[in-house]
Amino acid sequence: MPAVLLTRPPLRLATDLAETSGRWFDWLLGAPLKSAVAVLIGLVLLALSRWLITRTVRSVVTGGAKMRSGARRLLMSTRVTAGMAESSALMVARRVQRAETMGSVLRSSAAFLVAIAVLTAVANINHWDLGPVLASAGVAGVALGFGAQTLVKDFISGLFMLVEDQYGVGDVVDLGEASGTVEAVGLRVTQVRDMNGTLWYVRNGEVLRVGNMTQGWSRAVVEVRVDPGEDVERVEGLLREAAGTLVTDETLGPLLLDEPEVTSFEDLTGESVMLRVVVRTAPSKQWQIQRELRARLRETLGREGVALALPRREVLVERERAAGPDKAKGAGPA
């Protein structure tokens, strides 16, 4: 009997320890393990999504570098000027910035979605009541939405501008209040440098219209007015001859994307006849072509004795006639 009494407490202790260990083991295999697995899966998904996004952005940037090297080889083979090289570099910079910005947005969005999914899964596993939290978050979201609606509008507008590729770095744009060269494009603001050197920060949500002057291709337009008494057909031939010298020019010829087009009688008044020279150019090169074209047109017309029309002004002088000798007294000739 004494031996039995001595052996009972250790057996009960071992049994209690076994039961407790079993309960702890069952608990660990339940919600904590499932929660850890959910978090681990979320981390794997986040890492995989970020890797895919980064690889995609890197491929776009690498593609831009290949485009730049291909453009450089083309420049060397065709003797294209530095202006075309500058245009190609701007296109590459625009593509790279657009890809990096979109990659940053996609990585942030992926992290937010994965975090929401993991939090929901953990809450379901542990049977958490998220009703009050969601209600509070909803109220806070509504208040934040009213307070930051301008900021949200700017971000959404900037995102659509990037997706639609409305403009990029190096483009010359007209945004209404600000016009100039785009230096940076973000999700909230766009930086535009005008002709005076002022850097404008334009909120994307305030941009109602975008006039892009250098996307794809540009157009040089020069208008010439001559006297109505001139032979318009002869003047048109002279303009076509002067514009044709740009095509054969080694420096300016590669900047032209089409043959110059000359039209006459674009406007007709008693003072002048307007002719117009139009030619498609590489992006942002229309101003350089217009300056050179004006100089060559002036030289050709001056050599052939064709004068540009001058505005005429007629001044009517009305002289007051004396009604009688009293009013005419002391009045001299007007």
pLDDT in tens, 146-184: 667 788 888 888 888 887 888 888 889 999 888 999 888
- By DSSP bridging, strand 261-268 and strand 218-226 are unpaired
Is CATH 3.60.10.10 what the domain over 218-303 is classified as, yes or no? no
What's the mean per-residue pLDDT of the chain? 77
Pick the more confident residue, 27 or 279: 279
Side chain identity at residue 265, one-letter code: F
Coil, strand or helix at 47: helix
260 in Cβ contact with 279 (< 8 Å):
yes
* Tokens 């007209």, located at residue: 174
For the entire predicted model, the pTM comes to 0.59
- Hey, what are 28's tokens? 């660990």
What confidence tens digit (pLDDT) does each residue in 180-220 have? Answer: 998 888 888 999 999 899 999 999 988 888 999 888 889 99
* Residues in CB range of 181: below 8 A, 6 or more apart: 170, 171, 172, 192, 193
Longest dimension (CA), the chain: 165
175 in Cβ contact with 190 (< 8 Å):
yes
What confidence tens digit (pLDDT) does each residue in 137-146 have? Answer: 666 776 666 6
Which of the following CATH numbers is that of domain 143-215: 3.40.50.720, 3.40.50.150, 3.40.50.9100, 2.30.30.60? 2.30.30.60
H or E element in which residue 207 lies: none
Give the pLDDT of residue 2. 46
What confidence tens digit (pLDDT) does each residue in 254-309 have? Answer: 999 889 999 999 989 888 999 999 999 988 899 999 999 999 999 999 999 998 88
